[in-house]
Structure 1
Amino acid sequence: MIGYYISLAVRSLRRTPILSALMVAAIAVGVGAAMTTLTLNYMMSRNALAEKNDVLYAVQLDSWSSTDTVENPSEMPWQVTYQDAVALLRSDIPSKQVAMHRWGGPITLENSKIRPFIADARVTSRDFFSLFDVQFIYGGTWNSEADKNHTQQIVLSEETNNKLFGGENSVGRSVNFNGTPFTVVGVTEHWQPSPKVHDLNNGHFNDSAEAFLPFGLHRQFEIYPWGNTNGWKSEEINSYEDRLNSDMVWIQYWVQLDTAEDVERYGDFLTGYIREQKEQGRFPRPVKYGLSSPSEWLELNEVVDGDDRMLSWLSLAFLLVCLVNAVALLLAKFLRKAPEAGVRRALGASRKAVFSQHLVESGCVGLAGGLVGILLTLAGLGLIRQLQMGYMDRVASMDWAMMLAAIGLAILSSLLAGLYPAWRISRTNPSIYLKTQ
């Protein structure tokens, strides 16, 4: 029966091409506007670490002042101090754990015609690649000793390896980073999560690192982070060692806890560590720590802010306006078919059958509007990319899930718009039209 109703709907739409085109356009424009903003919000808020959402945790320690509260939803610093990061790395509870921060500098090859360029780097511990599922094209990561001691090794991104070595296997070769030779131990595949869940402190949608260096290099090179460094008290910093031992926060910390028991044990470990530090005069606030999954981390950091959500609501309001127009057009079209519906009713068709027939026709209008709406959405996203609005270039794209969502939204909207017109036509009194024949 549905197939028969669809056949009737197609014939009906062909009989009134201009009115049908207006109905499709009303749905398409509303869906296009709504899906453009919804797609941007979806791409901005999607969790690149969703597959590990139940085992990965961003670590926070409330080491702040007893009189001032950190102004963010968690009321704790986003990052930890260097001395706390080193202490946490000694725990054997997490199956993997990562301490890291952003760095950078000029990189080039010795005796090469390749001009030096500034590479955005990440100083991190060796578990970074396995914890965040960063795959290698060549080689692998450094050994565990490099996270504690001075080891001049480096992992390059695929893009950096292409620039320096033309994409060849560069493992074992040497590059100059910040004027110092480093031995390449690995080359990663292209890795560009968006948003950059692992480091929301340095831009939610910025490019990922072009090079990776061991965490144990700090003292040798007196590394200062390229990123946010915050503190709550005045400290006398006369040397780099003083900086490392200060209460300034600048290290991001992630752990992988595979079971609920591990989460509980690690929570007990953090509680015990904070109490130990309290005995040494640190951590003046009540005992508090944070273990946030990637999805919770995105929400805490407000990757999609209130303005973006408001824009989505406004676009849905515009879709509602388009639906009101679609209701008027559908009502006009269906009432023109009242004599036909009256004859069908006189021949024995039930009100339910007439209602279903016209509701299916509304769904067909929605399907056509959804397909055109996808084209309008793609055009809108393409325009955003043409405007070169920074990170928006990366998120202004539409995947298959959002395309299916656009068609679903269009069909649902058209069915809602068609409820009243279909109900009106199903209430047609056949006797009126039989007398006119």
Structure 2
Amino acid sequence: MFGYYVSLALRSLRGTPVLSALMVAAIAVGVGASMTTLTLNYMMSQNALQHKDDRLYAVQLDSWAPEKAYQNDTQMPWELTYRDAQALLRSDIPSRQVAMHRWGATVSQENSELRPFTAQIRVTTRDFFALFDIPFIYGNTWHKSSDQNPTREVVLSKKTNEKLFNGENSVGRSINLNGEPFTVVGVIEHWNPTPKVYDLNNGAFKNSEEIYMPFGLHRQLQIYSWGNLNGWKSEDISNYEDLLNSHYVWVQYWVELDNEKKKHDYENFLAAYIETQKTKGYFPRPLKFGLTRPSEWLVVNEVLSDDNRILGWLSLAFLLVCVVNAIALLLAKFLRKAPEAGVRRALGASRKAIFSQHLIESGCIGLIGGVMGILLTLLGLSLIRTLQMGRLDQIASMDWVMMLAAIGLAILASLLAGIYPAWRISNTNPSVYLKTQ
């Protein structure tokens, strides 16, 4: 019976092409507008570290000014001082821990026709790759001693390795950073989480770094952060060592704690560290620190802002307006077919059968409108990518989940639009129309 009703629906759509086109357009425009916004919100709210959400934590220490808290929801700086990061690295409680920040340098090769280019670099500790589950194509990360000692080694991204070495195994080969030679020890697979949950301070939707280098190179190369550098008081920074010992926060810190006991032990470790630093005149505020899971980190950093949520609701409101228009069009279309329905009722068709037939016709309109809505959504996302000049390439895209959601939303909208018109025609007295036949 369902197949028969579908064939009737298609025949009816062909019989009234103008009304049918208007209804499909109303649903398609509503779905296209709403799914464009909802797709962006959906992609912005993704958590690439969801599979480790129960054991990864972003670390915060309240080392800010005594008279006022840091201006964010946590009331603590997002990052740590270099001095604090070095102290935390000495703990053996976390199974893995990562201190890191963003940097950049000019990349070149000896005896190569490739023009020098500026690369985004992550200065980090060796656990970075294991903590964030980044697979290697060739080689591996550097030795643990390189986290404290200057070792001129680098790990390349897959894209950078293809650019420099045509994708070949480059382990043991050399590149120059700012004219200084570095040895390649590993090449990682393509890894570009969106949003960049591991570093939300420097653009949540920017591409991941092209090169990774050991944390122990700071003093030798005098590496300055290419990210945020914040402090709560003016300090006399006359040399690089002054920066490393200053109150400026610029180092991001993550730990992996496998169970609740380790988390409890690490909390005690952080509390004891802060208390010790207080005796030396640091940490003037009341004792406070934060261990935040990746899912919570995305929320407190407001990756999906209130403005985005409001736009999402407004887009659904626009879809509701389109549904109201579709109701009027469906009612006009169905009432034109009332004599046909009256004959069917007189021949023994039940009200339920008439209602089901017309509701299925509404669903067919929704299915076609959903497909058209997907095309409009893809067009809208393409325009966003163009206007943003590539800055939102990672999120202005539609996966199969959102495509299925678009079709489901269109069918749901059309069924809701068809309930009243279908009920209206199924409850019409057939005798009225029999007199007109």
Q: Scaled by the length of structure 2, what TM-score is found?
A: 0.96
Q: Secondary structure at the match of 2:26?
A: helix
Structure-2 residue corresponding to 1:378: 378
Give the corresponding residue for 1:367: 367
Query: 35-44 or 19-28, which moves further after superposition?
Result: 35-44
Q: Which residue of 1 aligns with 2:357?
A: 357
Partner SS for 1:253: strand
* Letter matched to residue 242 of structure 2: D
Q: What per-residue deviation string (whole Å, max 9, x for no partner) do you get for residues 368-399 of structure 1?
A: 10011111111222223333534123322111
- Superposed CA deviations along residues 91-116 of structure 1, whole A, max 9, x for unmatched, are 22222111000111112122333322
Where does residue 142 of structure 1 map in the other structure?
Answer: 142
1:10 aligns with 2:6: no
Amino acid at match of 1:81: T
Q: Distance in 1 between matches of 2:218 and 2:136?
A: 25
Q: Which runs of 5+ in 1 are unaligned?
A: none
* C-alpha distance in structure 1 between counterparts of 2:278 and 2:386, whole Å: 54
Matches of 2:191 and 2:162, distance apart in 1:
14
In the alignment, which residue of structure 2 is the partner of 1:332?
332
Q: Tell me how far apart the structure 1 counterparts of residues 388 and 267 of structure 2 sit (CA, whole Å).
A: 44
1:330/1:127 CA distance change after superposition, 3 Å: same
Aligned to 1:295: 295
Q: In the alignment, what sits opposite 1:304?
A: 304
Write the letter of the residue equivalent to 1:380: G
For 1:203 and 1:140, how far apart are their aligned partners in 2? 27
Q: Distance in 2 between matches of 1:338 and 1:306?
A: 47
- Please name the residue that 2:158 is paired with: 158
Moved more, 337-346 or 119-128: 337-346
* Cα distance in 2 between the residues matched to 1:291 and 1:4: 60
Distance 2:10 2:111 in 1: 71
Range moving further from structure 2, 64-73 or 23-32: 64-73
Structure 2 counterparts to residues 16-165 of structure 1, below 5 A = 16-165=16-165
d(CA) in 2 for partners of 1:388 and 1:271?
Answer: 44
> In the alignment, what sits opposite 1:409?
409
1:164 partner letter:
L
Read off the aligned partner of 1:398 and give its amino acid letter: M
Matched residues in 1 for 2:115 and 2:25: separation?
A: 54
Shift of 1:304: 2.3
In the alignment, does 2:238 pair up with 1:261? Answer: no
Partner AA of 1:403 in structure 2: M
Per the alignment, residue 420 of structure 2 pairs with: 420
Q: State the 1:50 CA deviation.
A: 2.1
How far does residue 424 in structure 1 lie from its aligned partner after superposition? 0.9
CA distance in structure 1 between the partners assigned to 2:11 and 2:286 by the alignment: 72
| Residues in 2 aligned to 1:7 and 1:265: alpha-carbon distance in whole angstroms | 67
Q: Residues of 2 paired with 1:97 and 1:352: CA distance?
A: 64
The SS at the match of 2:435 is: helix
- SS of equivalent residue, structure 1 residue 392: coil
**Identity over the aligned pairs, expressed in percent?**
71
Amino acid at match of 1:401: V
Once the two structures are TM-superposed, the CA of residue 436 in structure 1 deviates from its matched residue by 3.4
Structure 2 gap ranges (5+): none
Structure 2: distance between partners of 1:178 and 1:239: 20
The corresponding residue for 2:235 is 235
Moved more, 181-190 or 299-308: 299-308
**2 CA distance for matches of 1:357 and 1:271?**
68
Cα deviation per residue 1:62-102 (whole Å; 9 max; x = unaligned)? 11112112111111100011111111112222221110001
Q: Distance in 2 between matches of 1:7 and 1:177?
A: 68
Q: Is the 8 A contact 2:101 2:124 kept in 1?
A: yes
Q: 2 CA distance for matches of 1:79 and 1:141?
A: 24
Q: Secondary structure at the match of 1:168?
A: coil
What is the Cα deviation at residue 10 of structure 1? Answer: 1.9
Matched, 1:210 2:228: no
- Quote how far apart the aligned CAs of 1:214 are: 0.5
Matched, 1:283 2:283: yes
- What RMSD over aligned residues (CA atoms) do the two structures have, in Å? 1.7
Partner of 1:220: 220
Matched residue, 1:322: 322
Q: Distance in 2 between matches of 1:267 and 1:352?
A: 64
SS at match of 2:74: coil
SS at match of 1:326: helix
Q: How many residues align?
A: 437
Paired letter, 1:432 = V
In 2, distance between residues paired with 1:337 and 1:151?
81
2:385–2:391 contact (8 Å) kept in structure 1 = no
Q: How far, CA to CA, are the matches of 1:348 and 1:268 in structure 2?
A: 78
Secondary structure, aligned partner of 2:40: helix
TM-superposition CA deviations, 1:285-335 (whole Å, max 9, x none): 222211222221111111122333333233222212211110001001111
Quick one: distance in 1 between partners of 2:111 and 2:10? 71
Structure 2 residue aligned with 1:174: 174
**1:353–1:269: structure 2 CA closer, same or farther, 3 Å change rule?**
farther
Q: What CA deviation, in whole Å up to 9, does each residue of 1:36-67 have, x standing for no partner?
A: 12112222222222222222211111111121
Q: In structure 1, what is the equivalent of residue 245 of structure 2?
A: 245
Q: CA deviation at 1:268?
A: 2.3
Per the alignment, residue 184 of structure 1 pairs with 184
DSSP 3-state at the match of 1:395: coil
Q: CA–CA distance in 2 between the matches of 1:66 and 1:403? A: 51
Kindly provide the CA deviation profile for residues 100-152 of structure 1, in whole angstroms up to 9, marking residues without a partner as x: 00111112122333322111111000011111122211111001111011111
